[in-house]
Structure 1
Amino acid sequence: MSSPLPAREVPAGSGPARRLSRRRLVRHTMAGAGALLAVGPLSGCASPANASGASALSVWDLFQGGDGMLMDDMIDAVSKGAREAGGGAGRAAEAKGAGGSKGFEVDRTILDWGPSYYTKLAMSAAGGRASDVAAMHLSRLAGYAPGGLVDAFDLDLLAEFGVSRKDFTPAVWARTQHEGTVYAIPLDVHPFIVFYDKEAADTAGLLDSSGQLAAMGSPEALLDAGKALAEATGESGILFGHVTDTAQNWRLFATLYAQTGAAFLLPEGGPVEIDVDAAVRVVTFMQQLFDGRTNPGNLDYNGALAAFTSGRGGMAMLGEWELPTLKKSGIPLGAAPFPQVFDKPAVYTDSHSFVLPHQDDPDPARRREAHRYVAEILKQSLTWATAGHIPAYQPVLAEPRYAALDPQSSYARAAEVAVLDPPNWFAGAGSNFQNRMCQPLQSALLGNTSAQKAVRQMVREADALLRQPNPVA
């Protein structure tokens, strides 16, 4: 993957955001949410004007359940101040930057994940009630930065607090930008990977001398691995739940297609740029892999998860976010980046990132504190890694305590070959684009259509989306 262009350093609050009207923002919001019929109130949104000081920040995110509790812990740590919070990465970065010991007063609002989150995020900027900091999937940035829904980060300010471009992998940093300006700072990388039963994999002869999953190197090797795992477990080899799921088939296809080295681009106005032959090759392989015999081809997401945790399969293709659930199962759990079977390493992924929702006239002191807050949260991301997420902030990965995390550290290199959705306003996490790509792929895996017809349908669906006018163009 090519290195990103140098990022311009833009004063906070500048750029295209000042030119957007409320009407255009709302129009963008409704289109980007798939014409959501009912938005609901912006509950819990704290107005910056009501805060008691520059270090009193309003923060929006979509982290619930276990992730939500970990974020609570991280916010609690930074609220106490860097020296009180401690932590290896925090101390190291404090020496590197100017974090200091001052804490924060954080007003955190947790909203439901999905289109409604991104609708409310955009509308808060339109209504003058934007939070100081918000979480966003990096794959959604292309729908927000071009229209001024988020403001640019000041890289000099971040550097002052110990965070700079070199602290992130080029594969991820490249997607933080629009026209060379940085609009998002990644917290993590959460890839689509493989989990495996170590005992079954050992019996199947799939482990290397260090006890980790050995390289595959070809489609045939992965097919053979499925057969060997099926023999080792006495049931299924590789499990993959995709039926009625709006993203799983796309994650698998996008991983394998990127491994062929072919481009999948969504230029404004269309048509889609895709190597049809490579795509057919990938879908044909997906059909061979999940043939309904060695590896089931008709599982839904929960069915695949249940089969793996009960020992009825030797490997499962899942997102790393399932790690807490899998660890509770008690199986001897291993994990690895998605195996390279085509020409180049690539792993489909996304990234929870921080953005600065647009404000017409941001207070410089509060904006400075928002930058400091983002930097200090990144330094706490060893806590975040316990849930399985790969910290995007590389100094955390260099800590011995991260290397000791098992199996997290075994798939950390996935961040170096991360592949996200093609950038376009209608693509990204939870988008209708993913859903529309999944439907023909599901039909192919269920044996209802050929690989060639599935790819042709994917092209038609992508072209139909590209014909829709970009509401903030």
Structure 2
Amino acid sequence: MTPPLDMSRRQFLTAASVTAAAALLAGCAPGTTPGSNAQTLQFWHLLSGGDGVTMSQLLDTANAAQDAYRIRPTVLAWGTPYYTKLAMAGAGGRAPDVAIMHATRTVGWAPGGLLDTWDLDRLASLGVDSTTFPKPIWEKGFVGENMYSIALDAHPFVAMFNTDVCDAAGVLDSDGRLQPTTSPEEFLDQLRAIGGQAEGHALSYGYLGDGAQMWRLFYTFYSQHGGAMELPAGGKAVIDKDAAVESLSLMRTLLDGEIALAQADYGSAVAEFATGKSGMLFTGVWELRTMQNAGIPFDATMIPTLYGTPAVYADSHSFVLPHQANADDEKRDLTYRFVADMLKGSFGWAEAGHIPAFLPVTESADYADLIPQAHYAEAAQQVVYDPTAWFTGSGSNFQGEFGAAVQGVLLSGDDPAAAVDRFEARVNTLLRQPNPADPEGTFAS
């Protein structure tokens, strides 16, 4: 089988391994909407539940606001199924015009030619540039010198708290906000005061069998020590072991059976807080509507900075251009316009709990009145993403590997130092493996 002239060897090798499966993904051919001059743009995303409903509303608004394009969305299952099918579509020449990816996943895709780059001048002409994004979110869109993703949001790990329980515990300030704590000892004292007024536990935090949940809290605490975890391609992981051990030890202290249930999964933690039985919940902003629908009195804030450096784990839903060997110029122009329209119209996304990445939205007076979202908006300037490697990111195996290595620390009191060593060994094994999406390269970072 000979590669087409417009396909590089790298793209051909990637495509050859998935062509047969990609044929199953053929959808309706894009074109104009019948009875109009609007071009149809194919848009894939992985958002379901409340986020899926909100995205549908945003797309309806974008479609209704102009007559140049019409968005045809395709929704696929979150995680590995979505990313597998998107890779197959891109490699097999059947890619949608635009898609949603987690920002942390693009680094594994860019070297294999599965994504096209964004033209910064083209974006700037539409009012989208580095001045309209928080610096860490804008910079996350780059792999090397090229931009591969444009963030719609940041969705950080936060602390939601029951205002009635916390008021009774005396831990709110005169504005009804949670009093700041700046050390593990202060935070533990605050939680014990909250626990004295809660029907259940001071804190709800579910982690059993959920590597992502363990990683989100761990990497928040770890990053607050002021250093990053480095995963050099083909090398060995650079991990601050003291910071890692201290972070795991604090997590274990929280799970003492009094502050938080020693053994809880994600669903039971959410349910405990949603029924008003606990005073605080560690969770993602995506649970905001769950709590609003539950009707409990609550607010939300940043997880406190306990080790000196403000930092909070997050990822971003981002727009990407799945590779098209012969992209239609007119449709590509309309794709840029669509993304700019979505960024400028992302206030509805804020209502769902996410922090819009587009600063003119979060700096508006309307956003300042949006509670509790405005109370954790500062997280956008303090986000930390997964360490950069081809195998990290939301929906990847990396967070599962972390959970497998450290769950025993939280569950049965295993030695945190030994757990960090186990995790480091697992990561080093992955670092020795080539990026499967980069057939021509040995490693990708």
TM bucket normalised to smaller: over 0.9
Contact (CA 8 Å) 1:259, 1:344: kept in 2 or not?
Answer: yes
Q: Does 1:281 align with 2:246?
A: yes
Cα distance change of structure 1 residues 77 and 243 upon mapping to structure 2, 3 Å threshold: same
**In the alignment, structure 1 residue 148 sits paired with structure 2 residue 130:** no
Contact 2:44 2:96 (8 Å CA) reproduced: yes
Q: How has the CA–CA distance of structure 1 residues 66 and 119 changed in structure 2, closer, same or farther, with 3 Å as cutoff?
A: same
CA contact (8 A) 1:192 1:338 kept: yes
Contact preservation (8 Å) 1:60, 1:131: yes
| Residue matched to 2:64 | 80
Tell me the distance in 2 between the aligned counterparts of 1:314 and 1:22: 55
Deviates more, 1:239-248 or 1:346-355: 239-248
- Separation in 2 of the partners of 1:26 and 1:212? 56
Deviations 1:93-152 (CA, angstroms, capped at 9, x unpaired): xxxxxxxx5442111111111111111111111111111000000010111112211111
Show CA shifts across 1:56-106 (max 9, x none): 21111111222122111111111122xxxxxxxxxxxxxxxxxxx544211
Residues 35-54 of structure 1 mapped to structure 2, 5 A cutoff: 42-43=24-25, 45-48=27-30
Contact residue 44 and residue 109 of structure 1 kept, 8 A: no
Cα distance in 2 for partners of 1:338, 1:141 equals 27
How do 1:203-352 and structure 2 match up within 5 A?
203-352=168-317
TM-score if structure 1 supplies the norm length?
0.87
Counterpart code for 1:58: Q
- Cα distance in 1 for partners of 2:12, 2:392 equals 23
Paired positions, count: 431
SS at match of 1:68: helix
Gaps (5+ residues) in structure 2? 1-5
Alignment of 1:45-444 (within 5 A): 45-48=27-30, 55-81=39-65, 101-444=66-409
Task: Give the corresponding residue for 2:3.
Answer: none
**Equivalent position SS for 1:232:** coil
Deviation at 1:443, TM superposition (A): 1.0
In structure 2, the partner of 1:98 is none
Does residue 447 (structure 1) correspond to residue 412 (structure 2)? The answer is yes
CA distance in 1, matches of 2:291, 2:7: 43
Q: 1:44 to 1:407 in 2, by over 3 A?
A: farther
Q: Deviations over 1:377-429 (max 9, x none)?
A: 11111111111111111111122221221111111111110001011111100
Taking the aligned partners of 1:119 and 1:154, their CA distance within structure 2 comes to 26
Change in Cα spacing, 1:199 to 1:39, as seen in structure 2 (3 Å) is farther
Q: Structure 1 vs Structure 2: percent identity of aligned residues?
A: 42
Inter-partner Cα distance in structure 2 for 1:448 and 1:202: 33
Q: Flag the 1:54–1:103 CA change in 2: closer, same or farther, 3 A.
A: closer
The answer (yes or no) to whether the contact 2:228–2:387 under 8 Å persists in 1 is no
The runs of at least 4 consecutive aligned structure 1 residues that moved more than 6 Å come to 38-41, 49-54
Amino acid at match of 1:60: W
For the 8 Å contact 1:17–1:149, the answer to whether it is kept is no
SS state at 2:218 partner: helix
Deviation at 1:456, TM superposition (A): 1.0
Q: 1:201 to 1:249 in 2, by over 3 A?
A: same
* Equivalent-residue separation in structure 2 for 1:452 and 1:26 (angstroms): 44
Aligned amino acid, residue 265 of structure 1 = E
Judged with a 3 Å threshold, the aligned counterparts in structure 2 of structure 1 residues 469 and 153 are, in CA distance, closer, same or farther, namely same
Q: CA deviation at 1:166?
A: 1.0
Query: Deviation at 1:44?
Result: 6.4
Which secondary structure does the structure 2 equivalent of 1:211 belong to?
coil
Cα distance in structure 1, aligned partners of 2:375 and 2:312: 14
Q: What is the TM-score with the length of structure 2 in the denominator?
A: 0.92
Compute the displacement of 1:40 (Å).
Answer: 8.2
Report the 3-state secondary structure (helix = DSSP H, G, I; strand = E; otherwise coil) of the residue aligned with 1:265.
Answer: coil
Q: Which amino acid in 2 is paired with 1:185?
A: I
- Partner of 1:344, secondary structure, is coil
Cα distance change of structure 1 residues 334 and 141 upon mapping to structure 2, 3 Å threshold: same
Paired AA for residue 76 in structure 1: D
Whether 1:23 and 2:18 are equivalent positions in the alignment is no
Contact 1:176 1:182 (C-alpha < 8 Å) held by counterparts: yes
Instruction: Give SS of 2:101's match.
Output: strand
Contact 2:38–2:70 (Cα < 8 Å) also in 1:
no
Instruction: Provide the secondary structure at the position in 2 that maps to 1:236.
Output: coil
Counterpart AA for 1:23: L
In structure 2, relative to structure 1, the CA distance for the partners of 1:54 and 1:371 (3 Å cut) is farther
Aligned 8 A contact 2:31 2:39 in 1 = no
Deviation at 1:294, TM superposition (A): 2.5
Distance across 2 between alignment mates of 1:271 and 1:210: 48
Task: State the match for 1:3 in structure 2.
Answer: none
Partner Cα separation in structure 2 for residue 44 and residue 384 of structure 1: 30
Contact 1:78/1:104, CA 8 A, preserved across alignment: no
CA contact (8 A) 1:45 1:130 kept: no
Q: CA deviation at 1:446?
A: 0.9
Alpha-carbon deviations, 1:340-390, whole Å to 9, x = none? Answer: 111200000000000010011111111111100100011111111111111
Aligned-residue Cα RMSD (Å) equals: 2.1
- Note closer, same or farther for the CA distance 1:189–1:356 as it changes in structure 2 (3 Å cut): same
Distance 1:123 1:249, change over 3 A: same
Instruction: Label 1:39 to 1:362 Cα distance change in 2 as closer, same or farther (>3 A).
Output: closer
Cα distance in 1 for residues equivalent to 2:393 and 2:226: 20
Q: 3-state DSSP class of the match of 2:160?
A: strand
Equivalent residues of 1:54, 1:365 under 8 A apart:
no
